[in-house]
Structure 1
C-alpha cells in the first residue's frame, strides 16, 4: 500500500512540475499573438529611450511580452529584459525621473489583489509603430 501511495505521489508531483513550464510558454505565446495583432498594418521606426506619456490609461501590459503605450497613430512597444517579469494581473508602479517615461525609470510590479510587490521591470528601448499610409 505504501509503495502504491509513493508511486502515485511521485507521478502527481512529476505532472505538476512538468505543467509549469508549459503554462509559461503558453502565456508568452499568447502575449506574442496579442502584440502581433496590435502591430498589424504598422511600420516600425527608430527605437527611442524616452516617450511623452500624457495619459497613463493608454499604457497596457501584455502578459510575458511587452509594455505598449498607445499614442493614437503611433504605438510604442518596450520589451523587458526578462519577459516573465510582466504579468497582466500586476499593477505597474513607475518612479519617473522627469516628465517622460524612459527606460531608466524604475518600474515595480504590485499584485493587483494582495497589494504586495511582485518584482521589478527593466525595459529596452521603445520602438514606435506607426500606421502605414
Structure 2
C-alpha cells in the first residue's frame, strides 16, 4: 500500500514538472533553448540571408573579411562581407540588450580574428556603464550560389 502511494506521488510530481521542462525553449524556435524571434527580427534575418546557402561553420572570422555588423536579436549577430557573403553567429547564450542596437559593442580581441569563445560586452552609450559580457559562437558562412546574379 505504501509503495502504491509513493508511485502515485512520483507520477503526480513528474506530470507537474513536464510543462516546466518543455517550457524552456519558446515555441517556434529552431534550436533548444533559443529565444523565438519577433516578426521584425525574423524579417531582418530572412532579408539578410535570402538566396544564400549555409556553409560549414568556422571557428574564427578574420577581421578584414567583414564590412558590416547586423544585430538580429539578443542571440544572433550577422557579419556582412559584401552582398554575396554573410556570416551568422549564434551566440553561446543570450546577450540581454543586444537587439536594442543602442549600446556600444566592445569586442575583447587578441589577434587579427574574432573567434568562437571570444568575449564582447555592451556599454551604455549615454552613461558609459558596462553591460553584460557575451560570448561568440561559431561563424556560419551564407553565400549566394555560383552563377546567382540576384
| TM-score (ref. length: structure 2) | 0.63
In structure 2, the residue matched to 1:49 is 59
How many pairs were matched up? Answer: 109
Q: 1:96 to 1:49 in 2, by over 3 A?
A: same
Given that 1:28 and 1:65 are in contact with CA atoms closer than 8 Å, whether structure 2 keeps it comes out as no
Aligned pairs for 1:34-113 within 5 A: 34-54=44-64, 58-72=68-82, 73-80=84-91, 81-82=93-94, 84=96, 86-87=98-99, 88-113=101-126
Map Cα deviations across residues 61-108 of structure 1 (whole Å, 9 max, x no partner): 223341111112211010112154523222110011211011222201
In structure 1, the residue matched to 2:4 is none
| TM-score (ref. length: structure 1) | 0.70
Choose between structure 1 and 2: higher strand proportion.
1
Ranked by relative contact order (alpha carbons within 8 Å, sequence separation 6 or more), the top structure is 1
Given that 1:31 and 1:65 are in contact with CA atoms closer than 8 Å, whether structure 2 keeps it comes out as no
Q: 1:43 to 1:102 in 2, by over 3 A?
A: same
Mapped to 1, the partners of 2:97 and 2:57 lie a distance apart of 21
Aligned pairs for 1:6-45 within 5 A: 28-45=38-55
Gaps of 5+ in 1: 1-24
Moved over 3 A (4+): 25-29
Q: CA deviation at 1:55?
A: 7.0
RMSD: 2.3
Q: CA deviation at 1:53?
A: 1.5
Larger Rg: 2
Given that 2:106 and 2:123 are in contact with CA atoms closer than 8 Å, whether structure 1 keeps it comes out as yes
Choose between structure 1 and 2: higher helix proportion.
1
